[in-house]
Structure 1
Amino acid sequence: MSRLTALIILLLTLSQVANSNTTSFTKMFDIVFRNDLYYSSYLFLKKAIHSKGVVSQEKINIVLDSIHPSVFIHDYELDKFVSTKTNIDYAVGVRRFFLNDFKTAKRKFSSVRQNNSMFIESNYLLGLIYLTENKTQIASRYFKRCVRFADKKKRTDFKSEAYIKTFKNRCIQQVARISFSQKNYQASLRIMDYVKKTDYIWPRFLLDRAWSYYWSGQNERALGSVMTYKAPMLRRFMIPEANYLRALIYYEMCYFEKAENIKEDFNNATWKYRNFAKTASKNRLLRLISLNDAPKRKEDQFLYYYLKGYKKDIRYFSFQEASSRILNEIKKLSRVKSLKQAKLFLNSLYYYKRVIKEDFSDFLKNLTNDYFSQINHTRNAFVKLDLMISLKKRKNIAANKSSKFKDKMKTIDLDQIPNTDEKFIWDFQGGFWADELGDYAIALDNRCRS
């Protein structure tokens, strides 16, 4: 039997089942589920649950695992389940969360049990809700539970090792930031040590580490962390705030020329292109993040390298996987689109495909808007730092110390360090760093003390 014939039989069967009076939606769900049409299965899963049909938790887990969260966010049918407890409470909770109905979202996520495949995600989102309510201790408890159960979670066809690690690391970062907000900087550093340097998300923790070192009085270690961003392989992760912190530490150690040079580098390499981050269209951003090679135009390169740091982000690869999966289902059902039941599926699938793309485009635009905001805030911080440097320089001139603080020392030229090949680009094997570059930073004497 050909695939096309099998599909026609499938849709004819669905039409017959739809006209029956007993457990119709549950049967329809089972038929579509057996054919690996998970987005189509989701349509009948909701109808089966609404009509009090019984579907196994194992099958529900597979469907929920395979559905992109944007589908839940934009699914008005989930509003039918707000006041009742069901096995798709996670999906309902996601929609309520993005509608800022935190009270209902909290209730829905709290009902998700350990045997539910979305247990880790539920704890992460519960932690975020309690953070918005300034209940940091409760938030920390949920983030820690997320970390604990992520360690026990096994990869599936729909949840890769990278996906599970990403949620675990998100939760680790939130626990560390809670400790930081409570001025427990050493605890924050200990918690961040749980993230391995071979993990692609590790560079995003460097700035958090640097600020913890800075506020705990370890300027050398803080400098080492932000210096790491100068390694060629990590420049895609560069954030303007890291430039400012590096200059601030040099200022506090009386390396004034170094601080001023960093400001000039920031002006030439970042501030100069800031408006491209603000004005870039969503379609342009989608095109840039999809490129394999750097574009020729400088302004496109500016955005390309920034977006490239997100190419292994969970939101990027889940967008790719979801788009591919839905497109595959659309191709299958398009062959028999003359059937009324197939058209029902296709209309829903096209809608899902559209909202997933729109949400990801919005995510990219939010990234670049935030980047523009970061650049402006950093520029303002540099203006204040300039004034502080000028003031301290004048004091040193008055005290006849100006010649003592000339920056004559030889530094490591990180531009001479070759990049690694693409094979190692995400796991950082053979890379050059150290917070470890703290070893380099420690070699700098604090000239303000002498």
Structure 2
Amino acid sequence: MRKLFITLIALASFQASADAYKAWDILVKSKGNIKYYPQVVNHLVEGQLYFTSVPYIKEYMYQHEGKLDKKFDLVIDEVITKVGVKQFEILPSKALEQSSSPVVKYILAKKNFRYGKYKETLAYLNGTIPKEHPVKPFALFLEAAVFSINKKYKSSITAYEECIDVSERRISSENDFERIRQLKVNRDYCIVGKARALFAWGKNTEANLAYLDLPKSSYIWPEILFEEAWNSFYLKDYNRTLGKLVTYKAPVLNYMFNAEIEVLRGLTYMELCLWNDVKNVVDGFYSKYESDSLSLKKLIREKGKDYKYFYLLAKSSREGKVRGNDLLATLMNYINRDPAYIELFEAFQNGNSEIQKTSSMNSKGMKRVFSQNLREALLTQRNLVGAYVRKSLINALKQIDNSFESMSYMKLEVLAQRKRELYLDVRKDEKRGDIAYLQRTDKQYFWSFNGEFWADELGDYVFSLKSECSE
């Protein structure tokens, strides 16, 4: 078996080398004329040198005038599917608009979506991506999101439902593990997107049921549980809100980061007039984040845009090496489970597999040029990973700062309430919890909590606290 495995590697390397020689021969004869680049790229792709081909594609798209050849569009489609969309998102829109590639149209739609140009986003999506194209499920998610932002909730829900259906069909026909993971995440975001649209539409009860369509085994379920808690809060089912939030204390979810969890917990206790609990939430938040967040801000200022540092920071965490304070360790753990980060990192790892192919080339000139191109593409990918890590850390700090503002408000409310109770000599009943205060349907059953978290119970906990608000 080992001999067969080595033989297969040797054959693959031989084929890559043969295709690379063809690409090199054309490149030498072209004398730098970019009109030959599509042929160069085609041979590199046949040799599975996807990242090596990227600089040639970018330069050709940047300098070429007029629409690209349809055959070259197909090659671009294949390359982007392998290396990821981020490598091409950084190109100017003018360069991308020359292509009729469905993946490039999707990239243009994403760029416009990011800038809030929703009309242009839909224009790039409508009628440009065939239903059976691999990028269609992701395009449908983007389309549904635009409808939701524009408050066209009925159209949004229809698009999300189509997204779920198309994603399912693509999953059943895929063999690549990474692609299946991406499609499952996309499908699950569409399931959640439907619930979000219903919530924004004011149909909170329907939204609550729609959230239940997301299985607990989903990659994104832990982060969506927070949205379910907010939905319960708006339904004034405060005990269920607290029950969903306590799920985050389960050891299996110790990697999760969301500073707003404690904000919602505090607001819920406020609605129940449980002021001691509000105070405990506020004090716990300051103790947990005040010092660590200041240290993290200092680190980001010192490192600036050293994307290599942030790439290595996440990579070290991925390898089990803990660096920095508790907040940084938690954020690194969380980022390493982020589907967007995983996609960027895996693409980089896949690109590294081309190093052996280029370094084994016999021609010194070919080896030097192609290795240089590969290095350029991989450095770009590494910096994209590092930039994503840095941005994630900055966003987390912004969330913490916003949460501090909410905590300050709650702190003032606690003090005001304490003064009121002091002046009125109010005494509260010390009894905590009673199943009489549980709200449940015929399909929901009561089991007492004994301090252990069980997988099938996660997200289904409900508190039984009585409101202490004055009538």
Normalising TM by the smaller chain, what interval? 0.7 to 0.9
User: Does the C-alpha gap of structure 1 residues 289 and 86 become closer, same or farther in structure 2, counting only changes over 3 Å?
Assistant: closer
Which range moved further: 381-390 or 340-349? 340-349
Considering Cα pairs closer than 8 Å and 6+ residues apart, tell me whether 1 or 2 has the greater RCO.
Answer: 1
Moved more, 280-289 or 265-274: 280-289
- Partner residue, 2:94: 79
Which segment drifts farther, 328-337 or 119-128? 328-337
- Which range is displaced more, 340-349 or 286-295? 340-349
- Supply the AA of the counterpart residue of 1:165: K
Q: CA offsets per residue over residues 317-351 of structure 1, 9 Å max, x none?
A: 21222112212223312333846565554444333
Corresponding residue of 1:393? 418
Cα RMSD after superposing both structures = 3.7
Aligned position for 1:304 = 329
Contact 2:226 2:244 (C-alpha < 8 Å) held by counterparts: yes
SS in 2 for 1:164: helix
Q: Aligned match of 2:21 in 12, 31, 38?
A: 12
Candidates 192, 205, 213, aligned match of 2:224:
205
Q: Which segment drifts farther, 26-35 or 161-170? A: 26-35
Alignment of 1:112-151 (within 5 A): 112-131=129-148, 133=150, 135-151=152-168
Q: Give the AA of the match of 2:218.
A: D
- CA offsets per residue over residues 41-69 of structure 1, 9 Å max, x none? 56777869966353696x76543321211
Residues 2-21 of structure 1: per-residue CA shift (max 9 Å, x gap): 66765554333224456599
Compared with structure 1, are the counterparts of its residues 102 and 178 closer, same or farther at alpha carbon in structure 2 (3 Å cutoff)? closer
Looking at structure 2, the residues matched to 293 and 11 of structure 1 have their Cα atoms a distance apart, in angstroms, of: 38
How many angstroms does 1:220 deviate by? 0.7
**Counterpart of 1:423?**
none
CA deviations on 1:368-419 (whole Å, 9 max, x unpaired) are: 22221222222221222222233333334444432x2557789xxx99759x
The reply to whether residue 248 of structure 1 matches residue 267 of structure 2 is yes
2:122 is matched with which residue: 92, 97, 106? 106
Aligned CA distance change for structure 1 residues 99 and 435 (closer, same or farther; 3 Å):
closer
Structure 1 CA distance, aligned partners of 2:250 and 2:266?
Answer: 17
Which amino acid in the other structure matches residue 295 of structure 1? Answer: V
Change (3 A) 1:269 1:53: closer
Match of 1:436 in 2: 460
Q: 2:45 corresponds to which letter in structure 1? A: F
Check whether the contact 2:432–2:465 (CA below 8 A) recurs between aligned residues: no
Measured in 1, the distance between the counterparts of 2:357 and 2:323 equals: 39
User: How far off is 1:272 after superposition?
Assistant: 2.6
Percent identity among equivalent residues?
Answer: 16
Number of residue pairs aligned between Structure 1 and Structure 2: 427
Question: Is 2:69 the counterpart of 1:52?
Answer: yes
AA matched with 1:10: D
Alpha-carbon shift at residue 226 of structure 1 (Å): 0.9
> Which of 237, 242, 251 is the equivalent residue of 1:218?
237
Compared CA separation, residues 342 and 120, structure 1 to 2 (3 A)? farther
In the superposition, the TM-score normalised over structure 2's length comes to 0.77
SS, match of residue 199 in structure 1: coil
| Conserved? CA contact 2:293–2:397, under 8 Å | yes
Q: Given the alignment, which residue of 192, 195, 199 partners 1:173?
A: 192
The equivalences for 1:309-320 within 5 A come to 309-320=334-345
1:120 is displaced (CA, Å) by: 1.2
Residues 64 and 116 (structure 1 numbering): CA distance in 2 closer, same or farther, change over 3 Å?
farther
Change (3 A) 1:103 1:41: farther
TM-score (norm 1): 0.80
**1-side partners of 2:150 and 2:308: how far apart?**
36
Q: Any conservation in 1 of the 2:16–2:48 contact (CA below 8 Å)? A: no
Q: Which letter maps to 2:415?
A: S
Task: Give the structure 2 partner of residue 426 of structure 1.
Answer: none
Closer, same or farther: CA 347–144 of 1 in aligned 2, 3 Å: farther
